[in-house]
Homo-oligomer: A and B are copies of this chain.
Amino acid sequence: MAGKISTDLIRGHTDTIILNVLRQGDSYGYEIYKKIIELSKRQYELKEATLYTAFRRLEQDGYILSYWGDETQGGRRKYYRLTDNGKQLYEQSRENWTFAKCILDKLIEGGVNDVLK
């Protein structure tokens, strides 16, 4: 994967990324894994271990729910669906991201004069 991005810069946004994918409809682990790679134009890969850890966390907290897909055709797939709480969490998290982005711009790109202006 060329033009990779460091893990640490994404840290803390994993849940939001997953919720965003699920906003577009129910999906299962491996598909979500692939979708995130595609969404990032192959510049970021959320590792499977991280994904499945997040699924468990999000389900336990009631932000997503899971169900097994029809196993008669193809391999077994565990689908995930956003709950109402999950939708709310996504909206909240997106706002937080917008906010954090703004602050980080000040903290990372801002020079000394920016304080005085």
Which residues of A line the B interface, CB within 8 A? Answer: 3, 5-13, 16-17, 20, 23-25, 35-36, 38-41, 43-44, 93-94, 96-97, 99-101, 103-104, 106-112, 114-115
Contact = CB atoms under 8 A, between A and B. Distances in A.
* Pairs A-B, 10 closest by C-beta atoms: A8-B12, A9-B100, A24-B112, A17-B107, A11-B11, A40-B103, A97-B108, A9-B12, A11-B12, A16-B108
Contacts of A23: 111
Given A40-B103, A97-B109, 19 more contacts: A3-B99, A5-B99, A5-B100, A6-B100, A8-B11, A9-B12, A10-B104, A12-B12, A13-B104, A13-B108, A17-B107, A20-B108, A20-B109, A25-B112, A35-B115, A39-B115, A40-B106, A44-B103, A97-B104
